[in-house]
């Protein structure tokens, strides 16, 4: 455990098609006032025809690699967190691997619904800190618009599409991703699910008639569980990092519902000014919401080197988790792009120091 895992690159992609609450008023019996007051959502993005979870992942992943000044060929592992994969298999991560040309990388998907990205971070951190991997590309991506039931107004207004990615690298820095906690309660799985299409209910005329390929949810129950589980996970992750709540400069919660986010902040006595919220623009993009929010927080100057950041999520399963990290930011501009170049530069430095000039 000689090295730390730090985020050195980040990027996101959202589809260009913006769908406002007013647009939804034309297709379902709803109103901007209802959606805004119950959820905080004003608009969301839907993928265009031909756009999929893997194509959005690719765009976000490329940006994250560029920011990290890392070439795809130098990637060790690609993890895509998604509950709306292109296929049941092959994994969406494998589609990203080949499109990137990441020849050396292993690739797999993580399915923990909206907790997927935090789960991916926990796995990547473990791989990097153990020394078995030098870097990882962790992507959260969803195309939930394809699972919306336009006859169920309590769910179709909430979920949407997008992708966000981070590069995690080994570092000798004294800090990095300092904790990651994950929890689950499978007995609550039926509160939020897509029941059809797996082996229990393979696609059939019956599953179509029953609407089993759509997202179903018992919203009120989900709401109550969400607030408590996110607050608990936040406290646990902060304690695991040997920090206190007041040490956290920015909380980046899963963007499911503004009232849930406010409920978590209230329960923790954490000021909303230090909570990042962008749900008004994108709705609930499940595993993509935290990495998209992280990218926007960085772009808005809300993440400075050394800041302690809390990521916290909950989702179907039920699953929930949190991670505390110290923000590292970008590498110095002159950093060589490839691992080989970087290694040879380190050897040159060493030779310079050892040999008399």
Ligand X SMILES: CC(C)(COP(=O)(O)OP(=O)(O)OC[C@H]1O[C@@H](n2cnc3c(N)ncnc32)[C@H](O)[C@@H]1OP(=O)(O)O)[C@@H](O)C(=O)NCCC(=O)NCCS
The set of catalytic residues is 114, 254, 284
Q: Which stretch binds ligand X (CB under 6 A): 30-38, 58-66, 206-214, 227-235?
A: 30-38
CB 194 to ligand X: min, Å:
13
Looking up tokens 């699972």 gives 147
Question: Does residue 108 touch ligand X according to CB under 6 A?
Answer: no
Q: Which of 48, 44, 53 is nearest to 22 (CA)?
A: 44
Q: Which stretch binds ligand X (CB under 6 A): 71-79, 80-88, 122-130, 152-160?
A: 152-160
CB 35 to ligand X: min, Å:
6
Nearer to ligand X, 147 or 327 (CB): 147
Q: What sign results for the dihedral spanned by CA atoms 289, 295, 297, 302?
A: positive
Question: Does residue 256 touch ligand X according to CB under 6 A?
Answer: yes
Q: Which stretch binds ligand X (CB under 6 A): 10-18, 163-171, 176-184, 214-222?
A: 214-222
CB 226 to ligand X: min, Å:
6
**Spatial contact of 181 and 321, defined as CB atoms under 8 Å apart:** yes
Among 114, 182, 297, 298, which residue sits at the site for ligand X (rule: CB under 6 A)? 114
CB 223 to ligand X: min, Å:
4
C-alpha separations of 171 from 7, 174, 212, 228 in Å: 10, 8, 46, 34
Which H or E run includes 325? strand 319-326
CB 329 to ligand X: min, Å:
29
Count of chain residues binding ligand X (CB under 6 A):
20
In order, the DSSP letters of 60-106 are: HHHHHHHHHT--GGG--EEEEE-SS-SSSSS-HHHHHHHHHT-TT-E
- Indicate the DSSP class of residue 26: T
Nearer to ligand X, 4 or 284 (CB): 284
Sorted by sequence, the CB contacts under 8 Å of residue 124 that are 6+ apart come out as: 5, 77, 79, 133, 136, 138, 168
Which H or E run includes 44? strand 43-46
Question: Does residue 220 touch ligand X according to CB under 6 A?
Answer: yes
Please give the Cα distance from 156 to 43 (Å, whole number): 12
Nearer to ligand X, 112 or 180 (CB): 112
3-state secondary structure of 108: strand
Question: Does residue 249 touch ligand X according to CB under 6 A?
Answer: no
3-state secondary structure of 284: strand
Environment class of residue 333 by beta-carbon count within 10 Å: exposed (0-12), middle (13-18) or buried (19+)? exposed
Among 223, 228, 274, 330, which residue sits at the site for ligand X (rule: CB under 6 A)? 223
Question: Does residue 222 touch ligand X according to CB under 6 A?
Answer: yes
Question: Does residue 321 touch ligand X according to CB under 6 A?
Answer: no
336 - beta bridge partners?
none
The two structure tokens encoding residue 157:
């207004």
Mutual angle of helices 116-129 and 289-299, in 10-degree steps: 80
Residues 49-78 that bind ligand X (CB under 6 A): none
CB 48 to ligand X: min, Å:
24
Question: Does residue 157 touch ligand X according to CB under 6 A?
Answer: yes
Binding map of ligand X across residues 174-213, x = CB under 6 A, - = no contact: ------------------x---------------------
**Residues engaged in binding ligand X (CB under 6 A):** 30, 34-35, 38-39, 114, 153-154, 157, 192, 217, 219-220, 222-223, 256-257, 260, 284, 315
């Amino acid at each position: 455990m000689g090295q730390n895992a730090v985020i050195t690159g980040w990027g996101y992609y959202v589809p260009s098609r913006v769908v406002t609450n007013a647009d939804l008023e034309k297709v379902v019996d709803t109103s901007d006032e209802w959606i805004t007051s119950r959820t905080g959502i004003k608009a969301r993005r839907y993928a265009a025809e031909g756009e999929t979870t893997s194509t959005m992942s690719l765009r976000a992943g490329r940006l994250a690699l560029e920011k990290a000044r890392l070439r795809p060929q130098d990637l060790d592992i690609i993890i895509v967190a998604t509950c709306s994969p292109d296929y049941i298999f092959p994994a969406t991560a494998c589609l990203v691997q080949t499109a990137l040309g990441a020849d050396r990388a292993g690739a797999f998907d993580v399915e923990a619904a909206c907790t997927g990205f935090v789960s991916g971070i926990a796995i990547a951190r473990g791989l990097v800190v153990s020394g078995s991997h030098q870097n990882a590309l962790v992507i959260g991506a969803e195309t939930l618009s394809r699972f919306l039931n336009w006859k169920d107004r309590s769910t179709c207004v909430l979920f949407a599409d997008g992708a966000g990615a981070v590069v995690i690298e080994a570092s000798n820095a004294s800090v990095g991703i300092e904790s990651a906690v994950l929890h689950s309660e499978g007995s609550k799985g039926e509160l939020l699910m897509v029941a059809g299409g797996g082996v229990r209910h393979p696609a059939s005329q019956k599953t179509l008639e029953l609407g089993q390929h759509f997202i179903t949810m018992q919203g009120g129950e989900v709401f109550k569980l969400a607030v408590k589980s996110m607050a608990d996970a936040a406290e646990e992750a902060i304690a695991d990092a040997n920090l206190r709540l007041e040490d956290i400069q920015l909380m980046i919660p899963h963007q499911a519902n503004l009232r849930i986010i406010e409920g978590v902040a209230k329960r923790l006595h954490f000021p909303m000014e230090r909570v990042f919220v962008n749900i008004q623009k994108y709705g609930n993009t499940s595993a993509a919401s935290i990495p998209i929010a992280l990218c926007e927080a960085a772009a808005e100057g809300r993440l400075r080197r050394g800041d302690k950041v809390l990521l916290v999520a909950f989702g179907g399963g039920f699953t929930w988790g949190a991670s505390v990290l110290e923000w590292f930011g970008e590498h110095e501009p002159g950093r060589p792009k490839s691992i080989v170049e970087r290694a040879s530069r380190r050897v040159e430095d060493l030779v310079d120091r050892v040999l008399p000039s």
